[in-house]
Amino acid sequence: MESVEKRQPRYWINPNSRIRFTYFSIEWHLCDHQDLMQDHRPDNDYRKSYRTKNTCVIVLVIKDHSKTDILYSEEVDFNNLKLQKWLRENIKDQVVQRASLVLPQRMHELENKHQLFAQGVKVKPLRKGVLGQCTHTNYITLSPIIVIFPQELMDDVILHEMAHLKHHHHRKSFWKFLSELIGEDAKQQKLAQDIALSKYWGFYTFLMK
């Protein structure tokens, strides 16, 4: 399934960035500079810190990767490019991990609901603009980006790929079958969907660069 990528806005990660999706969110916490500087607990899978002589930012990850808390102090310079890169890589990692947990689960629910089963499902970044694909041997691959979509749009992408389990093309019979699955005219809905999705691409492209 493809989606048109619109021109991407420039992202800058700082306490004003509002990153709140259904399955992944970031919360910012302003802390005391000294407290952060004196905190020397070791980094691990769920806790990472970025340190320079005068800066400390700590990232705390909820175990299922659904939420990331970022502790910072007023002294932190979010214009620092190295810090920006570090934050981006951390957030990207959380989104990808979260996707590989949530998406197969959701697909299995939809498989059971519609009694339509794939040979397997994989979550992996795909070619630019591609949200999902289904092979002729009925393996489905989903792009991690769809984990930040609203539930309905996420389901639409998964159901699109599941409809390919029966019809490995985009001819009339495919759209008819997909319309049955989603309960509305799939071709009409695809247009509205492309528009709704465009706002998520900028953020995702920024994360994955």
Least CB distance from residue 180 to Zn ion, whole Å?
16
Residues 1 to 20: which contact Zn ion by CB under 5 A? 1
Shortest Å, Cβ 169 to Zn ion: 8
Q: Nearer Cβ to Zn ion, position 52 or 135?
A: 135
* Residues 118-177 close enough to bind Zn ion by CB under 5 A: none
Q: How far is the CB of 190 from Zn ion (least distance, A)?
A: 10
Task: Assess contact for 45 and 68: CB atoms under 8 A.
Answer: no
CB closer to Zn ion out of 40 and 169 = 169
Query: How many CB atoms are closer than 10 A to CB 158?
Result: 26
Q: Quick one: 37 exposed, middle or buried, by C-beta within 10 A (0-12, 13-18, 19+)? A: middle
Q: How far apart are CA 169 and CA 65, in angstroms?
A: 35
Of residues 1 and 99, the one with the C-beta less far from Zn ion: 1
What tokens were used for 35?
A: 């407290």
CB 68 within 8 A of CB 89: no
59 or 118: CB nearest Zn ion: 118
Maximum C-alpha span of the chain: 65
CB of 103 to Zn ion, least distance (A): 17
CB of 174 to Zn ion, least distance (A): 7
Give the nearest distance from C-beta 170 to Zn ion in angstroms.
6
* CB-count burial class (<10 Å; 0-12, 13-18, 19+) for 10: exposed
Residue 195 structure tokens: 């528009």
Contact 72, 30 (CB under 8 A): yes
Complex with Zn ion: residue 61 or 156, whichever CB lies closer: 156
Number of residues that bind Zn ion (CB under 5 A): 1
User: Which 72-111 positions form the footprint of Zn ion (CB under 5 A)?
Assistant: none
Closer Cβ to Zn ion, 76 or 186, answer by number: 186
Q: Which residue is nearest to Zn ion (CB)?
A: 1
Runs of H (alpha helix) within the chain: 33-38, 81-114, 151-163, 172-182, 186-208
Question: In the complex, which residues of this chain contact Zn ion (CB under 5 A)?
Answer: 1
